[in-house]
Chain A
Amino acid sequence: MLPVVVVHGGAGQIPKEWSEKSTSGVCSAARAGYRILQGGGSSMDAVVEAATQLENNPSFNAGCGSVLNVKGEVEMDAIVMDGKTLATGAVSAVRNIANPIQLARLVMDKTSHACLTAEGASQFARSMGVPEVPQESLITEYSRMRWKKNLAPDANPVECQIGKMG
């Protein structure tokens, strides 16, 4: 049964015209993770590679393609956890980096902390030589369109994630 990798591209309402891109994106991420496992790589290498592929795919809400905050900016969160040692690394509200998942892994490997946030995470990224990217490179036309659409006072951006009782 081993090795195995399972990936997801997010739960919610996926527009019909995005079905194909979503499915092909998760399939190629799973293949990438599996290739690493078959090559003797660790489960941590596999999950970081799979998540990196999905962050780089503008069809998904992570990395490039992230949704925008109310000010039209990108703030991202990420976590990794190692089942052997229970070590973990996370970043929150981090800006201007392409792959938050790789920064989360650096937090796990290079610091004694579990999570770095905002400007602290950015300073750590700089100290680790993680390149800063312009925010524009993380914003897609689609994410900007959805941001504008949900600025309306009566908008409910998380409607598809709130369970209707009954």
Chain B
Amino acid sequence: TVGAVAVDSEGNIACATSSGGILNKMEGRVGDTPCIGSGGYADNRMGAVSTTGHGEAIMKVTLARLILFHMEQGQSVEAASDLGLAYMKSRVSGLGGVVTVDPQGHWATCFTSQQMAWAAAQKDTLHYGLYTGEHFTQSI
């Protein structure tokens, strides 16, 4: 799965997620990616999320919308993302990862799986990482 979230200079927010699904899936199996609120969600008033991981688990908790609910309650992008992923892990034993952004341009990349390749571009700086805790930067 691959995905992106963005906020443009006018404050408009969008998300995109695309996936080949899970390995050796049954023919016709559809995962979380095309399901609004699970594979992704975007609302100028709250932010945007793009998700990846075990699709059946992501759908059970509607992970993208769940994280934005936490942000509506005042949680930061990081805390909301961690809360959503933690619920998915404890409730349905699913692992995954998300990229999240809010209308002010705060962003977070969180994952409970072993790795997630991510990158962010903001104020002419490129941020990126792969393993838990990694956060490298370089000038764009």
Which positions in A face B, CB cutoff 8 Å?
Answer: 1-14, 19, 22-23, 25-27, 29-31, 33-34, 37, 40-44, 46-48, 50-51, 54-55, 60-63, 65-71, 73-84, 86, 88, 90-93, 99-101, 104, 114-115, 117-118, 143, 146-147, 150-151, 155, 157-158, 160-165
Contacts and interface: CB of A to CB of B under 8 A. Distances in A.
Contacts of B3: 7-8, 51
Select the residue from A5, A76, A88, A147 with max chain B CB neighbours within 10 A: A5
B33 interface: yes
A99 B8 CA distance: 23
A67 B2 CA distance: 13
Given A77-B30, A79-B35, A30 B109 contact: no
Contacts of A63: 18, 20
A81 B14 contact: yes
A158 B22 contact: yes
Contact of A6 (B18, B39, B118): B118
Interface residues of B, number: 82
Contacts of B117: 8-10, 14, 22-23, 25-26
Interface of B: 1-31, 33-36, 39-45, 47-48, 50, 52-54, 57, 89, 93-101, 104-107, 109, 111-123, 126, 128-130, 140
Given A33-B121, A163-B89, 15 more contacts: A1-B122, A3-B6, A4-B105, A8-B116, A34-B121, A51-B18, A54-B18, A61-B1, A61-B20, A62-B2, A67-B20, A67-B24, A79-B33, A82-B12, A161-B22
User: Does more than half of chain A's interface fall in helix, strand or loop, or is it mixed?
Assistant: mixed
Contacts of B50: 8, 47
A8 B121 contact: no
Contact of B107 (A4, A79, A86): A4
